[in-house]
Structure 1
Amino acid sequence: MISVDSVTKTYSDHTVVDRVSMQIPEGKITSLIGANGAGKSTLLSIVSRLLKQNNGDVMINDKNLDSYKSRALAKELSILKQSNHLELKLTVRELIGFGRFPYSQGKLTQQDKLKIDEAIEFLDLRDIQHKYVDELSGGQKQRAFLALVVAQDTDYILLDEPLNNLDMKHSVQIMKRLEQLCREKGKTIIIVIHEINFASHYSDYIVAMKNGKILHSGATQDIMNPKILGEVFDIDFEIIHKSGKQICNYFY
């Protein structure tokens, strides 16, 4: 389990994450929602150890995050950042192979190659696996980087706006794949997401942030509430119930 206890992150006199505490349910999708600047991506970066908090603790499987060696942590937790840049000329398959580095240290075994094949199939990249990453569209690149994370095969997967650059069709495909990772492989996924209806449809739990604090958290059906969402985003919401799901209308 991932647990966060009184985590704070400040820059000069500006507090970005303010005494945040939470526990992430295992084997589920938890979405972090909130307006720009709410602290979602900063919190995700702290949980993945890309950023160091000023105060508080992050625990993974009852072990303090700071006590993990990098290679051991990379076998427990993987992250897809909001922006990913490559300076090397790599094919899609070679990129995905980097997900196996914590295990193989660059010398791929048959098991590593099998995991790479599985990730390519899972993200439907078979036809472009030998193309160079810098020749791909934005959506194809995003799926390739997600496949890298899948190949890493960690219990905990952290995704910072993974639907960036994806059209509606591929956004739905990615969310269904994430759902499949939870249901079939028992992965625990934390996702920063802006499109509230994707969060509503695919999340099991939602953490709603504003000004660096958690305003509300709980099961998705409890957070998809006009009053709660209005408080988080400062606009009016209407909730439409359809086929057992809650759809947010914020255009009316």
Structure 2
Amino acid sequence: MVKVMNLFKQYGEKPVVEDVSISIPKGKITTFIGPNGAGKSTLLSMISRLITKDEGEVMIEDHELGNWKTEELSKKISILKQSNHIHLRLTIRELVSFGRFPYSRGRLTDEDKEKIDQAIEFVTLTDMENKYLDQLSGGQRQRAYIAMVIAQDTEYVLLDEPLNNLDMNHSVQIMKTLSRLVRELGKTVVLVVHDINFASCYSDYIVAMKDGRIIEEGSTAKMIEPSVLNSVYDMDIDIHTINNQKICVYFQ
């Protein structure tokens, strides 16, 4: 289990995460929602140790985050950031092979190659695995990056705005892939999204943040309610149920 206790982070005089405590359920999709500047991405980065926390604790399987050796932590938690800046001309397969670095240190074994094959197949990119990233659509490129994370084969998969700049069709494909990660491979997925409807359709647990604090958290049924969402976003949000699925409608 990942357990966060009294986490703080500030830049200069401005606090961006204040006294945050949460427990992330295993084998589920947990989604962080909230307006821009709520602290969602900062919290995700502290959980993965991409950035340092100022105060508080992050417990990974009963061990404090700071006590994990980097090579062991990279076999437990993987993270895909919102902006991926790889300036090399790589094929999909070459990119996905980076996910095996914690195990192979660049010298791929037969087991590594099998994991790479499985990851590429999981995101349905096998027929184009030798294409270069700059030849792909935005949705295909994002699936390639997710395949890299899958190849890393960690128990916890963290994604910061994986739907950013994707159209509706590609966004649905990504979310279905993440659902399969949980359902078929038993992973624990934690992500930041801005579209509440994607959070409603695919999340098991939702954490709502505002001004660096957690406003409310709970099951999707509990969280996708006007009384909760209106307090988080400071706007009128109406809820409709279509085919037993809650859909949010926004009003200024």
- What is the TM-score of this pair, normalised by structure 1? 0.97
Please tell me whether the aligned partners of residues 19 and 213 of structure 1 are also in contact (alpha carbons under 8 angstroms): yes
| Offset of residue 91 of structure 1 | 0.9
- Please give the residue correspondences for 1:1-16 in structure 2 after superposition, counting only pairs within 5 Å: 1-16=1-16
- Please give the residue correspondences for 1:92-103 in structure 2 after superposition, counting only pairs within 5 Å: 92-103=92-103
Which string of whole-angstrom CA distances, capped at 9 and with x for unpartnered residues, describes residues 52-88 of structure 1?
0110010100001111111100100000001001122
Which string of whole-angstrom CA distances, capped at 9 and with x for unpartnered residues, describes residues 168-223 of structure 1?
11211111111111111111010000010000010000000000000000001001
- Please give the residue correspondences for 1:125-144 in structure 2 after superposition, counting only pairs within 5 Å: 125-144=125-144
Which string of whole-angstrom CA distances, capped at 9 and with x for unpartnered residues, describes residues 142-183 of structure 1?
111111001111000000000123221121111111111111
Q: Runs of at least 4 residues of structure 1 off by over 6 A? A: none
Please tell me whether the aligned partners of residues 34 and 194 of structure 2 are also in contact (alpha carbons under 8 angstroms): yes
Which position in structure 1 is the counterpart of 2:46? Answer: 46
Which position in structure 1 is the counterpart of 2:198? Answer: 198
Which position in structure 1 is the counterpart of 2:170? Answer: 170
Letter in 2 for 1:42: T
Aligned partners of 1:140 and 1:243: how far apart in 2?
29
Classify the secondary structure of the residue corresponding to 1:86.
Answer: coil
Aligned partners of 2:25 and 2:119: how far apart in 1?
24
Aligned partners of 2:45 and 2:26: how far apart in 1?
19
| Offset of residue 101 of structure 1 | 0.6
Which position in structure 2 is the counterpart of 1:105? Answer: 105
Aligned partners of 1:167 and 1:147: how far apart in 2?
19
Which position in structure 1 is the counterpart of 2:239? Answer: 239
Please tell me whether the aligned partners of residues 161 and 192 of structure 1 are also in contact (alpha carbons under 8 angstroms): yes
Show structure 2 runs of 5+ residues with no match: none
Please tell me whether the aligned partners of residues 16 and 38 of structure 1 are also in contact (alpha carbons under 8 angstroms): yes
Please tell me whether the aligned partners of residues 142 and 164 of structure 1 are also in contact (alpha carbons under 8 angstroms): no
- What is the TM-score of this pair, normalised by structure 2? 0.97
Letter in 1 for 2:175: M
Please tell me whether the aligned partners of residues 142 and 165 of structure 1 are also in contact (alpha carbons under 8 angstroms): no
Instruction: Tell which deviates more after alignment, 154-163 or 109-118.
Output: 109-118
Classify the secondary structure of the residue corresponding to 1:250.
Answer: strand
Which string of whole-angstrom CA distances, capped at 9 and with x for unpartnered residues, describes residues 25-73 of structure 1?
0000000000000000000000010000110010100001111111100
Please tell me whether the aligned partners of residues 235 and 251 of structure 2 are also in contact (alpha carbons under 8 angstroms): no
Aligned partners of 2:240 and 2:122: how far apart in 1?
32
Root-mean-square deviation (Å):
1.1
Classify the secondary structure of the residue corresponding to 2:49.
Answer: coil
